Structure 1
Amino acid sequence: MKWEEVRSLYPNQWVLLDIFLKVEREGKIIPVDMKVINSIPGEGLLVKETRNAPLYLPYHTKHKTIQLNKNVSN
């Protein structure tokens, strides 16, 4: 599923994503193909849901594009 489809199906909410395909450009990781594992109806549940799923990516559909920094500083 593409990000545009995710945004259409889950408007203005947090979703937990499983990323199948991604590309790297200019120090950013851009997911291209993904599956929604779960929608997270409120920010209060975000921590609880993601704590049990460390391999999945939580992201909010308010964002028009999806991209992540490749290198995260501690």
Structure 2
Amino acid sequence: MLEPLRIQIGYRGEIQVCLLNTDRNKAMDFKRGNRIAQLVIQRIEIASFARVDELTESVRGTGGFGSTGGFAAP
């Protein structure tokens, strides 16, 4: 599985793609303008956590693990 490329917010340089053909029997031919990559722009949230001694009660927590999937018996 390919790992996503993460580009930092302050980066202002060119984004390039490195290609590697691993097929020993078929050559690949690329020309300027060919679409070879995909860019997805997505916001990344950074969470901050607070340690607590105990959690408050919740309706979702009363049925146990997997009970909120819509298939549990009432």
Return the TM-score normalized by structure 2.
Answer: 0.18
Find the structure with the greater CA-based Rg: 2
Higher relative contact order structure (alpha carbons within 8 Å, sequence separation ≥ 6)? 1
Structure number with higher strand proportion:
1
Return the TM-score normalized by structure 1.
Answer: 0.18
